[in-house]
Structure 1
Amino acid sequence: MGVEIVTEWVEIEVPGAAEPMSGYLARPAQPGAHANVLVGFEMFGVTGYVRGVAERLARLGFRALVPDFHHRAGRRIELPADAEGRARGLALVGGLTRDGVRADVEAAIADLGRRFGAEGDVPTAMVGLSAGGHIAYYAATEVPLAALVAFYPGWLTTGEIALGRPEPTIDLTPRIAGHGTPVLVLIGEGDHLYTAEDRARIVRESAQSSTRHEVVLYPDTPHGFFCDERDTYRPEAAADAWSRTVALLRETSRRG
């Protein structure tokens, strides 16, 4: 079961944004210098599934915050994982900009510091799922993070979305190493978002990194293998990926 937790929606001031950004916060009920983890959502928004991921992290003793990166397009957008939801989600992800993501991540980290005082002034890691994996990967090129975990980060090697331009985000990997951020990338070899060359490119960037940078490839595994609400769920791969994620987060929080 883990530790007792509390959850709440919070409002985060983002410089330059017309309205505050909502965020879903899950944290241990007992006060303390819990390590911070930002969770990058799938393109569907801050859904119940993503909120559940934050709650799992909180039960393990982390303070987990899911920023609503879609906040410039609407308030607390939450889409179903069907054809209509995917079409709308793709459009929303296509509208995310590098400047916006950087501002949102910096604001979320600053908000945790203000909200919890000295207890919130602790290392902040980031875990991203699909589109959120790309968001987290880009954020790590701009903001020093305690750790980065990217579950099947979408469009990382292409310029299909604004977040991947002018150069593909994978090309910015040396910046992550410059921050000293350890990286864990988790990808299914059956993921429709990647060609074999895409996967090879991600692995090459990992091998060339000057800091810890691990890519785990799961054979015969599709995109979205971690989500237990869809038919893409693969229990064994999901369990292994979660174990690796928690181990890295715990290790880096101790360093902090």
Structure 2
Amino acid sequence: AHNPQVKAGVAWYGRLVGEATPLAPKHPVDVAGTLNGPVLGLYGEKDGGIPLDTVDKMKSALAAGNAAAKQSTFVVYPDAPHAFHADYRPSYRKEAADDGWKRCLAWFRANGVA
């Protein structure tokens, strides 16, 4: 939202909402409508730190935003916890991680980044 040269982004289970603090005055949901490129969000259904209702809030904020924001999309992996792509943690889920990586690369190619 701050850099006009950004063509697209991928969020791997990043927090979307929260209270404003001096170090984090805004969160993704607060700037969703003014993105310079679409975002692919990859989230786990069983992520205890990022409830699915916050993913829904982000989807709504994007849908109400500018043209780039409206092109964003989300994938929620069933039974996947937080950090499902971190192959060095017990939360790693190979199938979801592999699918997410393929989607990530395809997303950047489709949006002129890679």
TM bin (shorter chain): 0.7 to 0.9
Q: Distance in 1 between matches of 2:94 and 2:21?
A: 30
Q: Distance in 2 between matches of 1:161 and 1:153?
A: 17
Equivalent residues in 2 for 1:66-77, closer than 5 Å: none
Note the C-alpha offset of 1:205.
2.3
> 1:60-111, CA deviations, whole angstroms, 9 ceiling, x for partnerless residues?
xxxxxxxxxxxxxxxxxxxxxxxxxxxxxxxxxxxxxxxxxxxxxxxxxxxx
1:222 aligned to 2:78? no
**Does the 8 Å contact 1:191/1:222 carry over to 2?**
yes
| Structure with the higher strand share, 1 or 2 | 1
The secondary structure found in structure 2 opposite 1:201 is: helix
Query: TM-score scaled to structure 1, two decimals?
Result: 0.39
**Does the 8 Å contact 1:206/1:215 carry over to 2?**
no
Q: Distance in 2 between matches of 1:163 and 1:148?
A: 22
**Does the 8 Å contact 2:32/2:58 carry over to 1?**
no
Query: TM-score scaled to structure 2, two decimals?
Result: 0.83
Aligned to 2:17: 157
For structure 2, which runs of at least 5 residues remain unmatched after alignment? none
**Does the 8 Å contact 1:218/1:237 carry over to 2?**
yes
For structure 1, which runs of at least 5 residues remain unmatched after alignment? 1-140
The equivalent position to 2:106 in structure 1, one of 226, 239, 247, is 247
Percent of aligned pairs with the same amino acid: 32
Which structure is higher in RCO with an 8 Å CA cutoff and minimum separation 6? 2
Equivalent residues in 2 for 1:24-43, closer than 5 Å: none
Q: CA RMSD in A?
A: 2.1
The secondary structure found in structure 2 opposite 1:253 is: coil
Note the C-alpha offset of 1:161.
5.4
Structure 1 residues 163 and 220: alpha-carbon distance in aligned structure 2, compared to 1, 3 A threshold: farther
Larger Rg: 1
Question: What amino acid is aligned across from residue 152 of structure 1 in structure 2?
Answer: Y
Q: How many residues align?
A: 110
**Does the 8 Å contact 1:226/1:234 carry over to 2?**
yes
